[in-house]
Structure 1
Amino acid sequence: MSAVRHNLQPLQPLNNGTLNARSNNVTPIKPIRRSKEHQLDELEEQQQHQQQQKAKKKKEKLSALCKTPPSIVRTRNGRDYRRGLFLGEGGFARCFQMKDSSGKIYAAKTVAKASIKNEKTKTKLLSEIKIHKSLKHSNIVNFIDCFEDDVNVYILLEICPNQSLMELLKTRKRVSEPEVRYFMVQIVGAIKYLHSRRVIHRDLKLGNIFFDPEMNLKIGDFGLASVLPSTDSRKYTICGTPNYIAPEVLGGKQTGHSFEVDIWAIGIMMYALLCGKPPFQAKDVQVIYERIKKTDYNFPIDKPISNEAKHLIKKLLTLNPLERPTINEILEFDWFKGPFPDKTNIISLTNTPENLSSISKAQSSINFNNTKINAGIYTPKIKNPVEILRSDLHSEQPKTLLPQSLSPGDTRNKYQEIDPTTMNNGKKRVNFNNKYSNLIKNLDQVCYETYHNIRRLDYSKFDRLETIELPSCENPTLISKWVDYSNKYGFLYQLNNDDIGVLFNDDNSILKLHNQDKFLELIINENEGWTCIENSISHPPSQTKRQLEIVDFFAKYMNSNLSKVSENEEKSEEIFLRRYTRTSDYIMFEMTNGNFQFNFKDHHKICISKLGLAITHISPNRLTETHPLILILKQGNFPSSEVPDCLNKISIIKDAIKRKAFPEV
C-alpha cells in the first residue's frame, strides 16, 4: 500500500447512483415448475454460492469499510492535508494522495476505525505504526506521521511514484541478472538493517518493494512485521502471502519461525524476477503449500539463468532455515561478481537497459561496493527499536483510537531511540537470572561516573596527596588480541586470562572460558534487559553451535597470528566486551565490569578502571603497571615506563568517555 501511481483517476460514482434501479421495460419471467430433486440440487448450489459470496464479501469488507477521506483532513495539532488521487486498495486499507500546505505530496494508508473491532486488531495496528515509525533507512519507505479523524486512521508515508517490483515484472515478464543484482543489494541492505533491530518483516514480496523518484528500492507495508524479544526467540503465527511463505511458517506452533523467513522471501523474489513467476506458484493455495513443504520447484529450460544465480537461489530456498545463508553471507556469493550497473534507470520499468552485459569487471566491482555503501551494508550496529509501552495501547479520549503518544504533538520525544535496558520510569534495569548478576554494570551510568571522577581528579591534582583517598590498585583483565570481522560476524577478542569472546553484530555476546567446559551467553532482551546464561561446551544449545565454531576458528587464528598485549593474568573474573569505538588515533573498548581500554596507534595501551580512580599502562614490550590516577596526574607520567604524551592521552580518554556519557553534546 505504500506504492502509488500518478496516472490513476479519482473515484467516480457508479452508474450515476442508479446501480440498483430497475429498468421500466423489463417484463418479469414466470417461474418454471421443477422436480423436487432438481429443486434440492438447485438449493444446494444456491447455498454454496451464498457461502462463497459471503466469504468474498467478508474478505473485501475491511478495506470497503474505509470511507473516502474528506477533501481536507484536519489533524489535532492543526496541520491540514488535502486529499488527492485514490492510489490503490489492499485487504485492510485504502491509499490516497495527501498534500500538505507547502504542496508536498505523501501517500496516506487509510484504515477504517469500523474495521478495528477488538483489542487484538488495535494492538496489531499500533504495533505496525510503532515499528515503522522507529525505522530510518535509505531503502525503507519513510514514515512521516499518523493521525485520525472520526472514521479513519491515517498513516502518512513518503510517496513512491514509480510503481513496485511486481508491476515492473508484469510489464517486463523477466528481468536481467545485472538489474536483479542491483535490486538484491538494496533489499539485503534494508533487511540487514531490520534484522539488526530484531524486526522480521514477514511479508516481503515484489508488491511490497517500491521505486522512489530516483528509482531506488524501498521496502514498505509493515502490517505483519514483528519484533523478536531476543535473537533466539521465535514467532508462531501463520501469516504472509502464499507464494512467499517459508516452510517453517506453515509449521505454526510445531516449529516457529525467525529471521530466516525473510531470507527465504529474498530467494523467492530473486527467482521470480529472473524466471518470470514465483517458484511454487499454482492456482490452488494448498498445492502451493505442499510444493513449499517439499521445496518442489525447478528452473524453466526456456528461461535460462546463470549457474551462479541457480546456486544462490537453491541456498536461499533451503528447507532447513538454519542452513540458509545469513543476511551477511548473501552478498559474498559468486553471482554478485557479474556485471553490475551503477543505478536503476526509469527505462527499467518498461524495457531492459542497453549495454548491461558489457560493464567491465573493474567497473562492476566499483558499482557493487558503492551500492553496498549506499544500502548501509557497512553501517555500524545501531540501537534496537523502541519498546511498545502499555500506555500506547490506551487512548485518552473516548472517540480516539491513536493514543496521545502516537499523535504528532508528542512524536519527537516519545520516539527517540532508547536503550533496551530502560524501564518505563526512565531508570535502567539489568536483569540476570543466575550467579552472574553482578557481571555487567550500566554503561551510561559508568560513563557518567567515570568522566566526573577523572574531571574531579584533574582539578584535585594540585591538592595535598594526604587529603586524597587512594584506591587499591591491581592489574585489570584486558583485551589482549582482537579481530574486527563485523562485516560478517562481529568483533572477536581474547582476554589476557585466555577467555575468548565474540561481540556479534546483533549486540549479543559469547564468552568461552579458558580450560573450562562451559561458555557464557550475554543476551539482550528488550523487555527484560541483559541476561547471562551459562552453557556446556560439550552439550551446547543447537542455536549456538555455529557461534561456537566461529569462536574456535578465530581462537586458532589469533593464537597463530597475533601477539599478546600483556602476559597471562591469574584471574577468575568473567567479563565481556560491551561496546567498541574505532578512530584514526585509537580503539576504545568498553567492558561489562566498567573498565575502559584504549589502544593507541603508537602501540601504548591505557586502561581506566575503578570508575576512573585507577589507571593502567601497557607498554609496547608488554610491561604492565597500575596506579591511582591522581598520582599519574600529579607526576605527569608513569613511574616505571615513560608514556609518550601521557597527559594528552589521558585528556583524549576523558573526552572520549564524556562523549559516551553525554551523546547529545
Structure 2
Amino acid sequence: GGFAKCYEMTDLTTNKVYAAKIIPHSRVAKPHQREKIDKEIELHRMLNHRHVVQFYHYFEDRENIYILLEYCSRRSMAHILKARKVLTEPEVRYYLRQIVSGLKYLHEQEILHRDLKLGNFFINENMELKLGDFGLAARLEPLEHRRRTICGTPNYLSPEVLNKQGHGCESDIWALGCVMYTMLLGRPPFETTNLKETYRCIREARYSLPSSLLAPAKHLIASMLSKNPEDRPSLDEIIRHDFFLQGFTPDRLSASCCHTVPDFHLSSPAKNFFKKAAAALFGGKKDKARYFDTHNRLAKEDEEIYKLRHDMKKTSITQQPHEHRTDEEIQPLITTVAKPGALPETKQTGDSIRMIVRGTLGSCSSSSECLEDSTMGSVADTVTRVLRACLENMPEGDSIPKEQLTASFQWVTKWVDYSNKYGFGYQLSDHTVGVLFNNGAHMSLLPDKKTVHYYAELGQCSVFSAAEAPEQFISQVTVLKYFSHYMEENLMDVSSVP
C-alpha cells in the first residue's frame, strides 16, 4: 500500500503462517498519517467474517508497526486476472457471491470499504475470497455529515464521490459494478488514456457493454453503474438478480483457475456430452461474437419452447414397446417430413428441441476446439434450460391420445466417437443408425437399411434411398454404412448387458 509492505511471516512456536503488514515509523511521522493507521486498525480488528481478511494482532517497536493478518496464499484477484485476462460467468458468480456476502457484513457494521477493487480481494488456499485492505475504510455517516473528500482508485470512483457528495453504501455498489465488468471483460468500464477523460466518463456514466455479454450480465452491470445512486440495487437485490438465479455457480473452484480456464464437469461422460452439445448448439466456430449471438438467440427461443404445451402430447409411461414399424408405416412419415410446410406450427416451435435431439457436432475438428468457444458451464446452462422447459410444459396425459401415432420408446444401444476424423455414430434400440458429422450435418439410416434421412440445416430434411444416393451424398452414405457395419460387428448392445 501507500505506507506498508506485506510479508509472509511464520510463528515458530505454532508454525502458523500470517500475512504481516509492516509500516515503518518514518512513513507515518505526520499526525494525520499515524491517525490513518490507527483508524484502519480500529475498524479492522473488530471484524469477523468468513469473507473478510481476519485481523489477528498488532504491535510495534522502534522501527515499525506490525499488523498480523490472515494469510491468503493465492494472492489477489488482480493476480488471477493478470494471468487469465478474463473470467467465465460461473467464476464471476462464484467470486461475486462472496464479495457481496463480505460487503453486506461490512455495511451491517456501518462500515464502508471505499476502495473495492480486484487488488483488495484476496484468495486463500481453498480458493475462498476475502475482502481486505481497510486503509480507506470509514464509518457510514448520515448524508449531511459525510466527508466530501475524494479517495479511492480512480477507475472505480462513483459519480457522487467525484462530485464531492461523499461516500455511501451506493458508492461501494458502484465499485462492485466496475469489478464485475472488469472480471468479465478484462478492463475497467471507464478506463481511458488520461485521468481527466476517465472522470468525465464516470460523471456521465458513459461506458460500453459489448454484445458478447449475455443479457442478465448486462442488466446487472447497468443497474450497479446507474448514475443516480438511488437507482442502484441493494446487495440483497444483486444476489437475487437473474444473473445469479439463472446461471450455474460452482460450489468451489480448483486452484488451477488461478491460471487456466476451469472445466466444471467432474465426470468424463458428462464432460464429453457437453463438448458435443457445445458444438451442436454453437457451431464450434472460433468466433466469440457468433457464440454469444447464438446463445442469446436460444434465450429468445424460450417463448417458442413454451408453445410446445399445445403441440406435444405426453406418452404414458406404462406404454409397452411395439414391434418395429413396417415399410408401409414408415412411408407416410417420410412423405410428411420431406414436404416443406407440412408441419407449419410445430416446425417453428420445435426447432429448439430438434436442435438438442439432432445434436450435431458443428464444425469442430476436435473436442478441445469446441471448448475454445464456450465454457462447459454455459453449455450446460443452455442444455439444461431447454430440456427443463420441455419437461415443465408438457401437459399431463392419462392415456395415449387417439390421434398420436403408436410409437415405441427408443434409446441409444451403441455408439462410437470418431469425431477426430468423421463424426459421432450411434445406434438406437430400433436399429436406426445415425452419424453426427464434423461438418454439422446429421445422417441416419432407418431400420429397413434402405432409407436415409439427411439433415444439412436445422429443420430441413432430405430423404432418399441408400442404394440410389445423390452424388453429393455418396461419401457420407459410405461413412454411415461403415459406422453401421462397425457397430454391428464389434460393439455389444447395451440392452443385452445384465
Q: TM-score, with normalisation over the residues of structure 1?
A: 0.39
- Alpha-carbon distance in structure 2 between the residues aligned to 1:350 and 1:104: 27
1:360-375 mapped onto 2 (5 Å cutoff): none
SS at match of 2:235: coil
- Alpha-carbon distance in structure 1 between the residues aligned to 2:95 and 2:146: 28
Does residue 202 of structure 2 align to residue 292 of structure 1? yes
Structure 1 letter corresponding to 2:54: N
- Alpha-carbon distance in structure 1 between the residues aligned to 2:249 and 2:2: 37
Does residue 267 of structure 2 align to residue 357 of structure 1? no
CA pair 104-363 structure 1, distance change in 2 beyond 3 A: farther
Map of 2:185 onto structure 1: 275
- Alpha-carbon distance in structure 1 between the residues aligned to 2:166 and 2:259: 40
SS at match of 1:107: strand
Kindly provide the CA deviation profile for residues 353-395 of structure 1, in whole angstroms up to 9, marking residues without a partner as x: 113235569999xxxxxxxxxxxxxxxxxxxxxxxxxxxxxxx
CA pair 362-104 structure 1, distance change in 2 beyond 3 A: farther
Structure 2 letter corresponding to 1:288: T
Map of 2:9 onto structure 1: 98
1:107-118 mapped onto 2 (5 Å cutoff): 107-118=19-30
1:409-448 mapped onto 2 (5 Å cutoff): none
CA shift, 1:326, in A, is: 1.2
- Alpha-carbon distance in structure 1 between the residues aligned to 2:60 and 2:102: 29
Map of 1:183 onto structure 2: 95
SS at match of 2:92: helix
CA shift, 1:300, in A, is: 3.2
SS at match of 2:236: coil
Q: Contact conserved, 2:157 with 2:171, CA < 8 A, in 1?
A: yes
Map of 1:215 onto structure 2: 127
Does residue 70 of structure 2 align to residue 165 of structure 1? no
Structure 1 letter corresponding to 2:173: I
Give the superposed CA RMSD: 2.0
- Alpha-carbon distance in structure 2 between the residues aligned to 1:179 and 1:210: 15
- Alpha-carbon distance in structure 1 between the residues aligned to 2:251 and 2:91: 10
Map of 2:40 onto structure 1: 128
Percent sequence identity is 44
Query: 1 or 2, which has the higher helix percentage?
Result: 2
1:38-437 mapped onto 2 (5 Å cutoff): 90-100=1-11, 101-229=13-141, 233-252=145-164, 255-301=165-211, 304-337=212-245, 338-354=247-263, 355-359=376-380
Q: Contact conserved, 2:115 with 2:137, CA < 8 A, in 1?
A: yes
- Alpha-carbon distance in structure 2 between the residues aligned to 1:292 and 1:187: 23
- Alpha-carbon distance in structure 2 between the residues aligned to 1:326 and 1:102: 42
- Alpha-carbon distance in structure 2 between the residues aligned to 1:256 and 1:229: 9
1:449-468 mapped onto 2 (5 Å cutoff): none
CA pair 300-362 structure 1, distance change in 2 beyond 3 A: closer
Kindly provide the CA deviation profile for residues 318-364 of structure 1, in whole angstroms up to 9, marking residues without a partner as x: 11111101122111111112112111211111111113235569999
Q: Contact conserved, 1:198 with 1:230, CA < 8 A, in 2?
A: no
Q: Contact conserved, 2:114 with 2:167, CA < 8 A, in 1?
A: no
CA shift, 1:102, in A, is: 1.4
CA shift, 1:150, in A, is: 0.4
Q: Contact conserved, 2:161 with 2:167, CA < 8 A, in 1?
A: yes
1:472-487 mapped onto 2 (5 Å cutoff): none
SS at match of 2:8: strand
- Alpha-carbon distance in structure 2 between the residues aligned to 1:265 and 1:232: 22
- Alpha-carbon distance in structure 2 between the residues aligned to 1:362 and 1:199: 42
Deviates more, 1:217-226 or 1:348-357: 348-357
Kindly provide the CA deviation profile for residues 418-452 of structure 1, in whole angstroms up to 9, marking residues without a partner as x: xxxxxxxxxxxxxxxxxxxxxxxxxxxxxxxxxxx
- Alpha-carbon distance in structure 1 between the residues aligned to 2:187 and 2:142: 35
CA shift, 1:256, in A, is: 2.1
Which structure 1 residue ranges, 5 or more long, are not aligned? 1-89, 365-665
Aligned length: 271
- Alpha-carbon distance in structure 2 between the residues aligned to 1:194 and 1:231: 18
Structure 2 letter corresponding to 1:285: L
CA shift, 1:234, in A, is: 2.5
- Alpha-carbon distance in structure 1 between the residues aligned to 2:186 and 2:18: 31
Q: Contact conserved, 2:3 with 2:28, CA < 8 A, in 1?
A: no
Which structure 2 residue ranges, 5 or more long, are not aligned? 264-375, 386-498
Q: Contact conserved, 2:53 with 2:131, CA < 8 A, in 1?
A: yes
SS at match of 2:130: strand
